[in-house]
Chain A
Amino acid sequence: MTEIRPSRRITGIGTVLTFVYAVMALASTGRSFVQIASRFEQAPVPYLLSAAAAVVYILATIALLLSRSRSWYRIAWVAVLFELVGVIVVGTLSLVAPDVFHADATVWSRYGSGYVWIPLVLPLFGIWYLASQRKKEKR
């Protein structure tokens, strides 16, 4: 006997958002891997931040994918807000202190201009999506 139970996995437009997050997770992980493997000693702090950004992108991807469950939904909020704060703070620092947070440092440098500003726009879509899911739940 097979029982039909509601899936924890999301469907619909949220999957597109999740996959864009997945691509960013892959891109930032790859970049961070290259930085740490080939020239970590040149700028340890920005490169560690770069690795942190990658980890949070991975976390955000998983959390969005499973955001039907209450606990993952909360983690998704935290991860998405972290991305938004990160891109604003590091984006600003990369303009104010370009020798520390130069263009190569993280995906967030210059507000993510090297990634067609996807890192800046993506958290806003994430917030919109998570907020719309909450409304649906209350109905």
Chain B
Amino acid sequence: MILWFTIAQIVVAVVAGVLCITIGLAGRRPGDVSVGSLAVVQLLLIAQIVVAIAAPFAGNAPVGDALEFWTYLVSAAVLPIAGVVWAFVDRGRWSVVVMGVLALAVAVMTYRMHVIWTVPAA
């Protein structure tokens, strides 16, 4: 993993999460802002997948458990899609809160991925 990219990704996911939860609780229905912010989180996850495939060839191989890392990355990459799909199924304000919660989950999982990548497996 590339440290600055990972940090940027976590920051974006946290901002998207807090933003969606706030405007969702304020009564906003799913719209460009909430769905758009989730789309950005999703794009960064896809970029992270590309980075994780490419990095070992550039001499940046994971120190920790690669299987565990990929399980986290693939799971995280499903979450924003699930949130956006749900926003189309249920167009109420709680769907915006759901998207926010999922973005925060992505942030936590990205942090865990960083730990797994850098700390040797037990």
Number of interface residues of A (CB under 8 A): 20
Residue of A nearest to B89 (CB): A9
Judged by a CB distance under 8 angstroms, whether A96 is at the interface is: no
Chain A hits for B11, CB < 8 A = none
The distance in angstroms between the C-alpha atoms of A123 and B92, with both chains bound, is 24
What is the distance, in angstroms, from A39's C-beta to the closest C-beta of chain B? 9
Q: Residues of A with Cβ closer than 8 Å to B?
A: 9, 11-13, 15-16, 19-20, 22-23, 26-27, 30-31, 33-34, 37-38, 104, 116
Interface residues of B (CB under 8 A from A): 65, 67-68, 71-72, 75, 78-79, 82-83, 86, 90, 92, 94-95, 97-98, 101-102, 105, 108-109, 122
Q: Which residues of B contact A37 (CB under 8 A)?
A: 67
Contact present for A34 and B98 (CB under 8 Å): no
Question: Are A38 and B86 touching (Cβ within 8 A)?
Answer: no
A23 contact set on B, CB distance < 8 A: 79, 101-102, 105
Set A16, A26, A30: member contacting B98, Cβ < 8 A: A16
By the criterion CB–CB under 8 Å, are B67 and A34 in contact?
Answer: yes
- Given known contacts A16-B101, A19-B102, A11 and B94 CB-to-CB distance under 8 angstroms: yes
Cβ A15 vs Cβ B94 within 8 A: yes
Nearest chain A CB to B99 CB, angstrom units:
9
Known: A12-B92, A16-B94. A30 touches B71 (CB 8 A): yes
Q: Contact: B101 with A34, CB < 8 Å? A: no
A12 near B94: Cβ-Cβ < 8 Å: yes
Q: How far is the CA of A9 from the CA of B89 in the complex (A)?
A: 10
CA of A38 to CA of B75 in the docked complex: distance in angstroms?
Answer: 18
In the complex, the answer to whether B82 meets A22 with C-beta atoms within 8 Å is: yes
A19–B65 Cα distance when bound, in Å, is: 28
Is the Cβ of B75 less than 8 Å from the Cβ of A15? no
| A–B pairs, 14, beta carbons within 8 Å | A11-B90, A15-B90, A15-B95, A15-B98, A16-B98, A16-B101, A19-B102, A27-B75, A27-B109, A31-B71, A34-B67, A34-B68, A38-B65, A104-B122
